[in-house]
Amino acid sequence: MIARLTLSAFVLLAVIATGAAAQQPPFPHDMHAGLFPVCTLCHTMDGPTDDWYPSPTTCAGCHDGAVVDRVEWVAPEPQATLLDFSHTQHDRVAANDAISCEGCHVDAGRDRMTIVDRAVVEQCLSCHGHQSPQHLSGAQCSTCHIPLAESRFDLGRVLALPLPPGHGAPDFLANHEGNAECGVCHTRERCTACHVNAATLADVQALPVAGAGLELPRWTASYFTPPSHQTGEWLWQHGAEAATPASCSSCHTRDTCASCHIDSPPVEVAALPAASHVQAQGVSVRRAAPESHASPVFGTSHAWLAETSPRSCSACHGRTECAACHDAAANAGFHPPQFLESHPTEAFARRLECANCHDAEVFCQACHRTAGRAPTGVTGAVYHDAESAWLLRHGQAARQGLESCASCHRPPDCLRCHSQLGAFRVSPHGPMFDAEQASRRNAFVCRTCHIRDPLGGTGG
């Protein structure tokens, strides 16, 4: 029983010293060299790895506790490995005396069972010549290695996997299209951590999924900026470029685009997957103002851009954001001081688009009546700078800014005078007016006042 106690005490000391799970010293092969002339008397190389070592009953055949002290020996846990190794195949080679067990498990020059150790890569390469100048590149990895997904590596061994040459290059991410060898070191989870559209990529779907015994780290998505995205115009022109769901969804989710596209996003945005439906977080973007917004007077001069390209504004701005300034009731201070005194000139010259915020018929007249500058049922001269002679010279103003007149007046007001059926029958057309040319240019304008074709002599 001494051997049993000594072995147990050794195991206990090992646990205390290392703080690791219970381990046991290597099997004393040298003490059993005379009993086992060949290795296969104890080691069976067929079947699963767990069957490679002798069972406790095999040891008890000698260590019965009567003639020989009883021992408690437990086979070591199989080592997690990426090597695709078959003892059965090598055993066939050994039958031809080309290789033996000690050829891999015993250092050269030592006796067969002096120190038996695990085979190392250098011993494998003594027979299996590596065809690549560098071990980690340029060779068919799957010839000697199983996929990482089939291993039982712990987190430390996964993180300790060597980095092949080229993986650390600045442009590696931009040119890392997958191939069959990626699955030796990577599982599908590594790709789905970055690729938003991983479910649609054949190379990603070809990679194996990590097995239950494999511990993977939490990968942080890493994205590079393509050369096309690095130009100053890309952000404002990407919709007209190659912005398609297939190309954008590699890095972007629908939530990414929603950072800028607030109201009525394009159909391409709606076609992207939502962040809640994929594993990758996607690229995060932050809204930035275009160069046109950098002008110090853009806040008061942006109307031209909003009128010519309203969709460009709605990509980032909602209607409520515009109303915060353009709603006079919400922000009475939008106009500069003493604006009431100067606004007739600006409104008439169309430097302001009053109708963006104001209903001219209701808002303007209500203010003008309060100030005593609005007509009261008759065609008066109160509004027009209180000039009694305004009616006689209003034709020039009407021709220059008819839209300004239409903010208060309706066609019946004009037809009181400018009609063959009116009181004065004053023609609105100036001297030398060519009716035929005007009709050819746009006959629809003539119908604004004329009931019938005026050129036929039956005008209204």
CA distance to 221, 227, 242, 311, per residue, from 245 (Å): 20, 19, 9, 20
DSSP string, 239-270: TTTT--HHHHTTT--HHHHTTT--SS--HHHH
Query: Is the pLDDT confidence value at 70 over 60?
Result: yes
* Amino acid making up residue 169: A
User: Looking at residue 327, what DSSP letter applies?
Assistant: -
pLDDT confidence bin for 177, thresholds 50/70/90: confident
Higher pLDDT, 19 or 37: 37
In this predicted structure, what is the pLDDT of residue 294? 80
Query: Is the pLDDT confidence value at 114 over 50?
Result: yes
In this predicted structure, what is the pLDDT of residue 417? 81
pLDDT confidence bin for 209, thresholds 50/70/90: very high
Query: Is the pLDDT confidence value at 251 over 60?
Result: yes
Q: pTM for this structure?
A: 0.53
| Contacts of 410 by beta carbon, 8 Å cutoff, 6+ apart | none
pLDDT confidence bin for 376, thresholds 50/70/90: low
In this predicted structure, what is the pLDDT of residue 10? 27
How long, in residues, is the chain?
A: 460
Report yes or no: 101 and 94 within 8 Å, Cβ to Cβ.
yes
Query: Is the pLDDT confidence value at 14 over 50?
Result: no
d(C-alpha 146, C-alpha 48), whole Å: 15
User: Mean pLDDT across the stretch 113-118?
Assistant: 81
**What's the pLDDT tens digit per position in 290-307?**
777 888 878 777 877 777
pLDDT confidence bin for 349, thresholds 50/70/90: low
In percent, how much of the chain has pLDDT > 90?
A: 2
Tokens representing 79 are 């080592």
d(C-alpha 131, C-alpha 35), whole Å: 41
| Contacts of 45 by beta carbon, 8 Å cutoff, 6+ apart | 52, 87, 88, 90, 91
Average pLDDT, the chain: 75
Tell me, rounded to whole angstroms, the distance of Cα 228 from its chain centroid.
16
438 φ, ψ (degrees, to nearest 5) = -65, -40
What 18-26 contacts at long range (C-beta under 8 Å, 24+ apart), as own/partner pairs, is 24/73, 24/74, 24/76, 26/116
d(C-alpha 71, C-alpha 6), whole Å: 10
